[in-house]
Amino acid sequence: MSQIVFIDGKFYPRERAKISVLDHGLLYGDGVFEGIRLYNGSVFRLKEHLLRLFSSAKYIALKIPLTIEELTWAVVETCRRNKLRNAYIRLVVTRGEGDLGLAPWLCKIPSVIVIADKIQLYSEEAYTKGLKLLTVPTQRMSIAAVNPRVKSCNYLNNILAKLEGHNAGVTEALMLDSKGFVVECTADNIFIVKNKVLCTPPTYLGALQGITRDCIIELATEMGYKVNEEAFTRFEIFDADECFMTGTGAEVVPVVNLDARPIGNGRPGSVTKRLIKGFRDLVSRGGVSLGANLPRPRRLGDVWAKARRQ
């Protein structure tokens, strides 16, 4: 069976799932996206992902042509049609087709794309033994430029950092801001633990408000740990008892080494292990079930047809 992709209200087999070469998502990285997980037939924290998508879109002044309910249906239906129970879902909203200039106002209507695919996970060893991180030269973008809190389709900053890490033999890289504060990794948030108190960089430094980051803050607080959202530098990581990363794809991964120096005793710590377990329990409950009775949005097909006719 061919993979089925949702584009602008219709479903296409992957070979025919195409968008215009004049789409500004392609020409300029003008768009926003979400990476979402399907666990055992339920879409995890879909509402939160959709709300973040709308916040990102608002920041770049892009009007998503579908409602939260319509997007929910599109995501669920794409998973259903692909007969998936566990998957990684990519929801993309591009500025749409325009001309060769930058002008977003000349793009008639944003395109909405949903791709659901099998998940590529870190090895089990990464979770039991932990990962090594390296601080890379490419800095996280300034919040005074395109605020990196927006999950935009322009990930070149992160891609360069990822490449620098990869060339030096690590799977994930640590990114700092221009003052030397730790912000996050290339596709994951970061936490440190010192004397059982957790700390993660605040979003005002330009860290993404990760859905997994939010889950961990909730979980750790429920477990009775104090969680601070405070700026810190590499000093605090070297001095920490434990360190871990969080992300939709990665989930919760222990970090045991930074820049060739062990963190704590160089092994995943007890708080991290508790949180890994707690997070795995959390994803197995709740979420939007693929079995949910969601009515097919009636106007779906017309949205793009009407806009393109004008």
Q: Which residues bind ligand PMP (CB under 6 A)?
A: 35, 158, 184, 187-189, 208, 210-213, 246-248
How far apart CA 138 and CA 140 sit, in angstroms, is 7
Question: Which residues on neighbouring strands pair with residue 235, listed in sequence order?
Answer: none
How far apart CA 71 and CA 112 sit, in angstroms, is 9
Shorter beta-carbon distance to ligand PMP: residue 56 or 111: 56
How far apart CA 262 and CA 207 sit, in angstroms, is 24
Question: Which residues on neighbouring strands pair with residue 43, listed in sequence order?
Answer: 38, 288
Shorter beta-carbon distance to ligand PMP: residue 74 or 174: 174
The least distance separating ligand PMP from the CB of residue 99, rounded to whole angstroms, comes to 30
Closest of 29, 33, 30, 67 to residue 208, by C-alpha: 33
Shorter beta-carbon distance to ligand PMP: residue 19 or 283: 283
The least distance separating ligand PMP from the CB of residue 45, rounded to whole angstroms, comes to 8
Q: Are 125 and 70 in contact (CB under 8 A)?
A: no
Shorter beta-carbon distance to ligand PMP: residue 97 or 248: 248
How far apart CA 216 and CA 22 sit, in angstroms, is 40
Active-site residue, selected from the candidate residues 10, 58, 129, 151: 151
The least distance separating ligand PMP from the CB of residue 35, rounded to whole angstroms, comes to 5
Q: Are 222 and 215 in contact (CB under 8 A)?
A: no
- Residues in the chain, overall count: 310
Shorter beta-carbon distance to ligand PMP: residue 8 or 189: 189
How far apart CA 289 and CA 38 sit, in angstroms, is 9
If you write DSSP's letter for every residue of 105-150 in order, what string do you get? GG--S-EEEEEEE---PPPHHHHHH-EEEEE-SSPPPPTTSS-TTS
Structure token digits, residue 267 = 């092994």
Annotated catalytic, 83? no
Closest of 55, 18, 13 to residue 34, by C-alpha: 55
Q: By beta-carbon distance, which residue lies closest to ligand PMP?
A: 210
How far apart CA 59 and CA 270 sit, in angstroms, is 39
Shorter beta-carbon distance to ligand PMP: residue 4 or 53: 53
- Helix, strand, coil distribution of the chain in percent, nearest 5: 35, 25, 40
The least distance separating ligand PMP from the CB of residue 43, rounded to whole angstroms, comes to 13
Could you list the active site residues?
A: 151
